Copies of this chain bind each other. A is one copy, B any other.
Amino acid sequence: MDGGETSSGRDAYHHGDLKAALIQAGMEMLEEVGLEKLSLRGIAARVGVSHAAPKNHFDGLRGLLSAIAAEGFQRHSAAMTEGLDASSSRQDRLRAAAEGYVAFARENPALFRLMFSPGLLDRDNPALCAAGQKSYAVLTGIAEDLDWTTLDGSETTQRHSELMLWSLVHGYAHLLISGRLSDPEHAPPTTAVMPWMDYKPITSRR
């Protein structure tokens, strides 16, 4: 116990819970130095171990990055659901989730970028896969509630609607952190780019 923050209980070990410490340090440095300058040696140094130590817990830099991304997806899921009030309308719930999605990206741009950089991650990492799928499930789960999929009554539109929503928030998030928008600080709120929600009752068939 001792600290018991992020680490698991044992503290008087070799180092403590090095695995969690590395993930923690990695997430901090990620936003400090940027995705491209993040180095295994740097992370190890911050924790105070040699650069070979992580090998005992992760499969190289890739493995560590994958673990960080997995943690990122969990926080991403949390960001989408935390503002969710079960009592609010389904439309508001969707709005809140979309705003959470985008806000997370703006607050953790480097992490968000990492999470969607397949070239840096281990596709087969179980934790990463699970966390990523869960994150997607959170979004689609809220979208499904709205069954705007009945617009033309066909079954296939379900997937299309999910993709539309996902593409929209994902694209806006990405643009906001891509440095291509003229004034990202004062960009319109997320709901401003999903305006069809304002003009048409989502659940109606029209």
Contacts and interface: CB of A to CB of B under 8 A. Distances in A.
B116 A174 contact: yes
Contact of A193 (B167, B178, B179): B167
A160 B192 contact: yes
Interface in A185-206: 187-188, 192-196, 199-200, 206
Contacts of A164: 168, 193-195
Given A167-B171, A175-B170, A199-B152, A119 B35 contact: yes
Interface residues of A, number: 44
Contacts of A126: none
B163 A192 contact: yes
Contacts of A157: 195
5 contacts: A36-B117, A36-B119, A152-B199, A163-B193, A167-B172
Interface of A: 34-37, 113, 116-120, 123, 132, 136, 151-152, 157, 159-161, 163-164, 166-175, 178-180, 187-188, 192-196, 199-200, 206
